[in-house]
Chains A and B, each alone.
Chain A
Amino acid sequence: MIPLYGFKRSSNTVIQLDDQSVVTDEGAPMSFPNFVTSFVDLGPAGGTARLRRVAQTVTLFGNATIRLVPRVNESEDFSQAETFSLSPVNGTQQVVELYPALTGTRFAIQIEVLLATGPLWFGECDIELVPKRSTVRA
């Protein structure tokens, strides 16, 4: 990989950026990697539903701690978040599952990497919604 160099302000150093051989930024913990998925719903006029299950595949080559936070109608619900401590000893390909019970019209998942001591990839994801009985499907 062609190196990407950074020429630092208020410093006497040149740094290499996005270097897969290290997991910290100049020895300090990297600002938490995280992402929030776009909102999904049950389609046009889908009405309300309950977010009941999130399954996220993870590939890891070092110990990792990740937190899954459900988001409903554009806000996080940390009360139903869950933190997973993962080790590649249990396999480099793993699935973390979250079983929230949140009602709303739009849902998303926020995933935060609290610790990663090696490369860490996120792959496929399942989001399972249960329509409310009163919902009128389009």
Chain B
Amino acid sequence: MRLKRGELIHVVGHTGGVVEYAEPSAVDPRRTGGVGTLFSAFQLVSLAGGRLAVRGGSRVVTTFADVAGNAISDVLGGFAFSPIGVIVVAHSAAADKHYAYALRATDMQFALPVGTETEAGSRAELGWATATIGRPVAVEYFEKLYVVDASRTSRRDLAVVNLNAGALQVTNPSHNIDTPGVGVGPIQAYTIAAYNGVLFIAGYDSESGGQEPAILRHSFLGRDPSDPAGFDRDAYALIGAKGVYITAMVPGNSILLVAKESELYRITGTPKAFEGWHFGISPLDNTLGLGCTNPHALAHAAGWFYGVGSAGPWRSDGYRVELLKRGRDAAWGQVQNSLELATVTWHPERRRVLFGFCAVPDEAPEIFWKWDVDREQWDATDAFLSQIHQTRAIESNVAADTQAPAGLAQSFSFADHRATALTGTFTPGSTLAKTEVWLRHASLGSVQVATLDEGLARFTIDAVALGLDLKFEACFVKLRHITGGVWSEFTGEVEFYPRLRPPVFKISHISGTPNIRRIAVTNYANNSLVQNLYGDEAAHASWLEDWLDAPAGDSTSDADPDTPVSGQTRRYELTIEQPAFVGHEESGLATLSTFFIPNSTLPNAPWQDMAQDLALDRIHLQFMPAGFSPASYEVQYRVTGSGGGYTTATTYAPPASPATLESQRITITGLAASQKYDVRIVQTNGGTFASADVVMFTKLEAPTVAVAQGGLSSPDVDITVTVPASGDGKDVRVYSASNVAGTPGYNQLFVAQTAGAHVYNSTAGTCDVRDQYFACMVDSTWPAEWTHSDVASDEIEDPCL
């Protein structure tokens, strides 16, 4: 209701900012577009549309448990770390330790080990074993987080945090700066920043010079700064007056702004991989005596540097600086407490710079002034019940839009279907993202087993390298991309299964009549394998023994007790089956022959033991002695087709009693790779009686491969494959990883290649997308699992010039 004679002052919104003691004529909404300014404001925030809103509340998102009974007493800071999300540094006064915790940026929960995250698995000691708290300042540089301590007394050593084999690792490296080769020491810098490809540390001279507040050093371009030689002794400069601290450093606006307590400097330039200092140094045009009180009192936001010094909050474009205290003088008088603990934090989405102050002399801020970077004015002040060492806006999903990989499938091509290795292909959702490969197996749980480089779409899980016995059980594989520390969704799990190998078995005679052969077949685990035992001799073709869901260990059967007939041979063949492995349900045959009645002068033929891996220099075989002592056996071999004499590999003297006669496992060593051998058993008692030759194989030796860009601006890759001498005359298969749903972009078989280097050319692939090439030797006359050698590979970052 309007009043008679009343004069109306209409305020369209209280969003004109906080201006203390402003003269009405200066802030009258009738003169300032209707927007009202505020004398003071707390716990509010200006929104669009002239609304002044009550700020949101605060809530606990992460709680750290006691460590070995010692409570975490302070949470000192958090730093975005792209390989994981966030690294939080905390302190336990009871334990006299500082800890680094790896948290996910998405929800601030424990991040490691990925898939089975635990607090203990996400924690590592920082190497700061002190009862008092440190002041961590950190910067990420090439997938490592460098943490220094902004303490002026009892300063702690540089800590380097990184991921190593999926676990959080912290090191406190020693450096050799002053006199290379003589003495090392830990870096004890006051603050740290990354700028133009190198790391800057301030407040540290060298292992002999110790701490020096005004010295600024940069790392050697191209060297890992955590390496002892990561800093060159001459790459330093004295900034301003000696003895006066460099307090803060932040890159922005193409410079590194270096602050002292009442000075500001511009660092500009580009480093080179030479010794010495490579940057220009100049003070700002008008420093005004402004500076920063500590490393956390400086931030770069929306084209401006914002800082807090003893004279108040300020901003700078990197050339000039202006004080922002005007209009807040009264409030400034109330927050000039413990300014050495003041913080400046940028929140890009709220478009506010938060200046953290202590309401009273204390140990951490709880009052936060908010500077509105768009309206260029002070917004309402926030006051929290808690004291906060640091505040940080941490984005949770910068790359969440990355599509998950697609078309994940097991590969049965080439040499891919192995008993101890699983190979898969897929189509990347993004060629800019790395790909994590995860495996779930009954004896392993779900674990990450590999990370593929960007653009690659083929992987092999080597169970031997993982120390994992696949036990012929189905495995489940899933993938997800990771880019910028953020993961895509997982693909669905896809069933992979290893190749079924012929079973391990043994024949033994049992005393008595008839002469029963006992056959023991080893099952690998409590899986659902079906094991079949066949007797193939014509008169006993119907003899069959199956074990369904065979238990782990040996299953035994006493084979076909029938009338002994001298000179009759039995051959036993065994397979294992897994009906779930559609298309690959049955293993190859394991075979052993034996004379029905022991003590024949003729030996039984040997069998290559295919239950084991083929080897480059040896052959594993089994044979059943046909007689007992005084029979004597030799295992002999020669290169197939050589027509030469045999070499005796070893001898075997059987026991005197037939009751203890059993099949023997023999290994012939000292053989050549990629070779076929005729192997036979010779009985030498009372003459020389040889079994038939059996062709056995050593493993095909792999070639080497190196790829290089071929010179064209379109995909052009030269693939140099070196065929080993043992592979002379064999075929070479070359294929690439660039694939869509399992089809390699490049796939060629080169027949009958001579030993030595061969260069092949590929025009497959996509410019700017990494690719990988594989090469292996091929001989189709080798046993099924071993027709291809192991695969050699090499990557090319860009197939185009």
Contact = CB atoms under 8 A, between A and B. Distances in A.
Nearest to B388: A6
A125 to B, nearest CB: 4
Interface string A63-100: 00000000000000000000000000000000000000
Interface residues of B, number: 85
Interface in B709-765: none
A13 B64 contact: yes
B13 interface: yes
Nearest to A130: B6
Interface string A11-37: 111111111111111111011111111
A79 to B, nearest CB: 20
B17 to A, nearest CB: 10
Nearest to B11: A125
Contact of B347 (A4, A8, A16, A128): A4
Contact of A26 (B58, B71, B90): B58
A128 B6 contact: yes
B539 interface: no
B57 interface: yes
A71 to B, nearest CB: 8
A9 B386 contact: yes
Interface in B28-85: 28-29, 36-45, 47, 49-65, 71-78
Interface stretch (B137-145, B393-401, B590-598, B639-647): B393-401
A35 B25 contact: no
Contacts of A108: 39
B9 A127 contact: yes
A124 B12 CA distance: 4
Contact of A10 (B22, B36, B345, B387): B387
A30 B108 contact: no
A5 B394 contact: yes
Contacts of B389: 7-9
A131 B5 contact: yes
A120 B59 CA distance: 19
B74 A11 contact: yes
Interface stretch (B200-208, B254-262, B376-384, B604-612): B376-384
Contacts of A15: 58-61, 386, 388
B546 to A, nearest CB: 60
A24 B57 CA distance: 5
B13 A2 contact: no
Interface in A33-60: 33-44, 49, 52-53, 59
B8 A5 contact: no
A115 to B, nearest CB: 11
B150 interface: no
A51 to B, nearest CB: 10
Contacts of A119: 53-54
A33 B13 contact: no
A121 B14 CA distance: 10
B391 interface: yes
Nearest to B349: A2
A125 B6 contact: no
A125 B59 CA distance: 32
A17 B75 contact: no
B90 A12 contact: yes
Contacts of B3: 52-53, 128, 130
A9 B386 CA distance: 8
B7 interface: yes
Nearest to B77: A7
Contacts of B626: none
Given A17-B391, A34-B41, A106-B24, A5 B55 contact: no
Interface of B: 1-3, 5-14, 16, 19, 22, 24-25, 27-29, 36-45, 47, 49-65, 71-78, 88, 90, 103, 108, 345, 347-350, 354, 363-364, 380, 382-396
The 10 A-B residue pairs with the shortest CB-CB distance in the complex, in nearest-first order: A33-B43, A22-B57, A35-B41, A9-B364, A12-B72, A6-B388, A20-B56, A14-B62, A9-B387, A125-B11
6 contacts: A1-B350, A4-B391, A9-B387, A14-B108, A121-B51, A126-B9
